[in-house]
Amino acid sequence: MSLLSVESLRTSLTSASGIVRAVDGVSFQVDAGETFALLGESGCGKSMTALSLMRLLPDAGSIVGGRVLLGGRDLMALSESDMRDVRGREMAMIFQEPATSLNPVLTVSQQIVEVLERHTALRGVAARRRALELVEAVGLPDPAQRLDAYPFQLSGGMKQRVMVAIALAGNPGLLIADEPTTALDVTIQAQVLELLGRLQRERGMGMLLITHDLGIVSQLAHRVGVMYAGELVEVAARQAFFTSPCHPYSRKLFAALPRPERRGGDLETIPGSVPPLTTAFTGCRFADRCQSAWARCADEKPAWHSASDGHVVRCHLYDPALAARQGGTAASSERRNCEDDEASPAAGVPLLAVSGLKLHFPMRKGVFRRIAGQVKAVDGVSLTLTSGRTLALVGESGCGKTTVGKAVLQLLRPTGGSVRFDGEELTVLPPDRLRKLRADMQIVFQDPYGSLDPRMRVGDIIEEGMTALGRTAGTMSRDERIDALLARVGLSAVMRGRYPHEFSGGQRQRIAIARALAVEPRLLVCDEPTSALDVSVQAQILNLLKELQTSLGLAYLFITHNIAVVEHLAHEVAVMYLGRIVEQGTVGEILREPKHPYTEALLSAVPRIEGEDGRPVIVLKGDIPSPANPPAGCHFHPRCPRAMQECATLYPSETRIGATRRVCCHLFK
């Protein structure tokens, strides 16, 4: 008997636009010691499925059908009082955002002890001792000290580990992990994934993993369920799924991934978006976006069909009654396998030349606010960028990447160093001259919703920059120019009258790009522009950025920690750690043969999908140190698996390895 058995689960929510069928007839099983992964785009119903299992629905939601059996007991038949005993003791959940899931006014110890006292006989000193054992088990550094810390005193990776400790406190048989690594850097993500895998093996837990990252699915899952528009469309064992995905939607998810062999060509995209779940579906829910659809797909709901042993798919293409399977495989587009064009930097005078850039923030203490130290957010960064090229700036959160981007644009005034744009020194320019150059240098922020004025219509948002910076529309009228920009980024002119909240995340990012292009820039700083997007929407944005660079000759300073995106889009790469560049070179040099131990760890931590050649994962210990108190010597040496004695006392000088490669490491003196 399965540990968890979900049978035809249906969950609805009441909204102003009608009944939202968030989960519509979902069935699956999870065995003890097994990880079942729910995969799909945002809005497909994955998280709502998990909340339904826990019976933690919002006030507008209700379970309208189906059964959820945990250890043979129907959870839907339990009272709320009995369900409180189940949560934490028999099943527990790690929520997507630990910062909002942890109680900000309770210490780590109080939050873990609360679970222990609710579900075990432990009290007082014994409960605190057990809490200490749990934080040690999840690998939290300085566990005795962290017990009395509040959530705001912990990094993102630490908060996620505390969430895991709380979930494990009641020793549950089933663990639900809802996007447990979405907001984490790849190095911290590797720590959390290694932790979850180890704890599951030790405890024999069943795990329901919710994610849209195929690399994580490949690393942790035993079986995979693909969810689309509230229902499952494919279920298979991990190896069968990654070897031969069957549903056209599953194939499109794979085709949208940035891969080495797709460099130089366009990624496949899925047209449109997930349909609203208020729709009364009559046929296949994916039909409007499917290149293999025909008349039957729009008129008749597909049944489950067997593709192979244990591999089932909800698609008419696999109906054995069909005499011929025309379009039986999803159409695939021809991709160019271009030779590497990053072998050497483009010739000519750099558009952007940064040398010894520093940005130190004073720390003030006491009544008189005297300066007691410096936060060295950026500490001697040098880089160059040529028109028509992309320089990727990569590293963990907190290393200073975004601060570099803002300092380059003079949104934050550097405290030292040089920033030359087209031969002109920006750090000494008077405000009126700098304002005239603003149009040549624009930025696309990480969060498009936070960077777009919610009270302005899209057309006004795009026009604002043209008006403020005096960019005329040339032979076109201002309205024609706005319509042309919207079309350029794949949006309709009729959308210009809408507000930002009326768009999806991918569409809002397109609006942010259109706003930046409106003033005809030459340099675009892209600060994590795809970090919050599904893989299908990410592919659309990456294709758009490549097309714009080719046609307009834009230079991109691309700030990210997504190595797959770097591999697809960048020409050169600079690896940053604690305010300094530790390695720089072409994308081929850095990604194929990293030299610095930090670069090696960063690349090895990227989850790879089945069948890809991956390096052994190097799991770094601890988190990035504070820039207010960096370690002596090489800043990376406390976490470096190859550290030597001199690393603790002397910061390594820069060593050139070839014409385009440089590294700061004692291993290459």
Cβ density class 588-621: b for 16+ within 10 Å, e for less? bbbbeebbbbbbbbbbbbbbbbeeeeeeebbbbe
Mean predicted confidence (pLDDT) in 324-337: 38
Q: Which of 73, 63, 1, 65 is nearest to 30 (CA)?
A: 1
* Inter-residue contact 141 to 622 (CB < 8 Å): yes
Examine the pLDDT at 417 and tell me if it is beyond 50. Answer: yes
Residue scoring higher pLDDT (60 or 142): 60
How big is the chain by its Cα radius of gyration, in Å? 26
The predicted pLDDT at position 611 comes to 54
Rounded to 5°, angle at Cα 451 from 447 and 454: 115
The predicted pLDDT at position 347 comes to 52
Q: Tell me the DSSP string of 263-315.
A: TTSPPP---S-PPPTTS---S-TTGGG-TT--HHHHHSPPPEEEEETTEEEE-
C-alpha distances (whole Å) from 628 to each of 65, 188, 379, 621 are 55, 21, 12, 20
> What one-character DSSP code corresponds to residue 589?
H
Q: What percent of the chain has pLDDT over 90?
A: 61
- Determine the residue type at 30: V
Number of Cβ within 10 Å of residue 294's Cβ equals 13
Q: What are the phi and psi torsion angles at 128 (to 5°)?
A: -65, -40
Model confidence at 328, pLDDT cuts 50, 70, 90, reads very low
Lowest-pLDDT range of 150-164, 326-340, 480-494: 326-340
Lowest-pLDDT range of 87-91, 314-318, 338-342, 458-462: 338-342
Model confidence at 75, pLDDT cuts 50, 70, 90, reads very high
Examine the pLDDT at 300 and tell me if it is beyond 70. Answer: yes
Q: Provide the phi-psi class of 300: left if phi over 0, else alpha when psi is between -120 and 50, else beta.
A: beta
Q: Is the pTM of this model over 0.75?
A: yes
Domains and CATH numbers, the chain: 98-171 (no CATH), 352-668 (3.40.50.300)
How many whole angstroms separate alpha carbon 63 and alpha carbon 46?
A: 15
Q: Provide the phi-psi class of 270: left if phi over 0, else alpha when psi is between -120 and 50, else beta.
A: beta
Number of Cβ within 10 Å of residue 240's Cβ equals 18
Lowest-pLDDT range of 156-165, 208-217, 363-372, 420-429: 363-372
Q: Provide the phi-psi class of 348: left if phi over 0, else alpha when psi is between -120 and 50, else beta.
A: left
Residue with tokens 């087209």: 422
Examine the pLDDT at 376 and tell me if it is beyond 70. Answer: yes
The predicted pLDDT at position 342 comes to 47
- Could you read off the pLDDT of 619-661 as tens digits, one per residue? 887 777 888 889 999 999 999 999 999 999 999 999 999 889 9
How many whole angstroms separate alpha carbon 449 and alpha carbon 503?
A: 9
Model confidence at 215, pLDDT cuts 50, 70, 90, reads confident
Q: What are the phi and psi torsion angles at 583 (to 5°)?
A: -160, 140
Paired residues of 371 in beta bridges: 364
Examine the pLDDT at 329 and tell me if it is beyond 70. Answer: no
How many whole angstroms separate alpha carbon 410 and alpha carbon 427?
A: 7
How many whole angstroms separate alpha carbon 303 and alpha carbon 447?
A: 40
Model confidence at 439, pLDDT cuts 50, 70, 90, reads very high
* Inter-residue contact 396 to 185 (CB < 8 Å): yes
The predicted pLDDT at position 538 comes to 85
Examine the pLDDT at 613 and tell me if it is beyond 70. Answer: no
Q: Is the dihedral of CA 152, 158, 160, 162 positive or negative?
A: negative
The overall average pLDDT reported for the chain is: 88
Lowest-pLDDT range of 20-34, 93-107, 163-177: 93-107
Mean predicted confidence (pLDDT) in 158-164: 88
The predicted pLDDT at position 183 comes to 62
Examine the pLDDT at 23 and tell me if it is beyond 50. Answer: yes
Q: Which of 287, 282, 280 is nearest to 317 (CA)?
A: 287
The predicted pLDDT at position 330 comes to 36
Crossing angle of helices 505-517 and 535-552, rounded to 10°: 10
How many whole angstroms separate alpha carbon 287 and alpha carbon 291?
A: 8
- Could you read off the pLDDT of 521-578 as tens digits, one per residue? 999 999 988 876 778 888 888 998 999 999 999 999 999 888 888 989 999 999 999 9
The predicted pLDDT at position 618 comes to 83
Lowest-pLDDT range of 210-214, 421-425, 601-605, 624-628: 624-628
Residue with tokens 């989850």: 607
Residue with tokens 């208020």: 278
Question: What would the two tokens of residue 490 be?
Answer: 């794949």
The predicted pLDDT at position 374 comes to 86
The predicted pLDDT at position 186 comes to 79
Distance in angstroms between the alpha carbons of the first and the last residue of the chain: 61
Examine the pLDDT at 326 and tell me if it is beyond 50. Answer: no
Model confidence at 154, pLDDT cuts 50, 70, 90, reads confident
Model confidence at 333, pLDDT cuts 50, 70, 90, reads very low
- Could you read off the pLDDT of 176-213 as tens digits, one per residue? 999 888 767 777 788 888 888 888 998 899 999 998 88
- Determine the residue type at 19: I
Q: 56 CB contacts (<8 Å, ≥6 apart)?
A: 87, 93
- H/E stretch holding 563 reads helix 563-569
Q: Which of 84, 85, 83 is nearest to 68 (CA)?
A: 83
* Inter-residue contact 579 to 376 (CB < 8 Å): yes
- Could you read off the pLDDT of 395-412 as tens digits, one per residue? 988 889 999 999 999 999
Residue 442: strand, helix, or coil: strand
* Inter-residue contact 152 to 183 (CB < 8 Å): no
Mean predicted confidence (pLDDT) in 29-55: 93
Q: 267 CB contacts (<8 Å, ≥6 apart)?
A: 255, 256, 257, 258, 539, 542, 543, 568
Number of Cβ within 10 Å of residue 365's Cβ equals 10
Model confidence at 132, pLDDT cuts 50, 70, 90, reads very high
Model confidence at 323, pLDDT cuts 50, 70, 90, reads very low
Model confidence at 337, pLDDT cuts 50, 70, 90, reads very low
Question: What would the two tokens of residue 40 be?
Answer: 């799909």
What is the Cβ-side half-sphere exposure of residue 646, based on CA atoms within 13 angstroms? 8
C-alpha distances (whole Å) from 301 to each of 153, 231, 285, 313 are 51, 12, 8, 13
In terms of Cβ atoms closer than 10 Å to its own Cβ (0-12, 13-18, 19+), residue 454 is: exposed
The predicted pLDDT at position 110 comes to 96
Lowest-pLDDT range of 17-21, 178-182, 493-497: 178-182
CA dihedral 160, 627, 369, 412 (to 10 degrees): -100
- Could you read off the pLDDT of 232-270 as tens digits, one per residue? 999 999 999 999 999 999 999 998 888 777 777 788 888
